[in-house]
Amino acid sequence: METMQLVLTTLSLIISLSTVCTLIYGFGKFLAKPHDSLEQRVAVLESRLRDVDRELLKGKDNFHEQNVTNEVLIHSTLALIEFEIQYCLTEKKPMSNDLEKAKEDLHRYLAKK
């Protein structure tokens, strides 16, 4: 009877310990879940950040190209305005107010740059 009681007590102790270990393991997993979730979210955000940086660099090249194009167009427009003014002076034709205003506006814009 004593051995039976000892075996039952030992089994009860083993079952209790395994239950406690299982609870501790489950509780540890439960506590680690937000950490794991955050790691996944950070990985996704880092990936998106790399994509955004890549697109930004690509866009920077496009902006540089557009700035060069704008500069060429501004110089060309200024040359055309100067040519038209010179033509009017050479041919002794009246210069329109809009032409003179366009020249002043363009010079004012370029001075602000």
pLDDT at 44: 92
Asked if residue 59 has pLDDT above 80, the reply is no
Q: Calculate the dihedral angle through the C-alpha atoms of 26, 32, 34, 35, rounding to the nearest 10 degrees.
A: -170
Return the structure tokens found at 18: 């395994």
Q: What percent of the chain has pLDDT over 90?
A: 13
Which tens digits make up the pLDDT trace of 104-113? 888 888 788 7
Distance CA 89, CA 30 (A): 87
Distance CA 51, CA 45 (A): 10
Distance CA 17, CA 24 (A): 10
What is the residue-averaged pLDDT of the chain? 85
The model's pTM = 0.46
Asked if residue 63 has pLDDT above 90, the reply is no
Q: Calculate the dihedral angle through the C-alpha atoms of 27, 33, 39, 43, rounding to the nearest 10 degrees.
A: 150
pLDDT at 49: 93
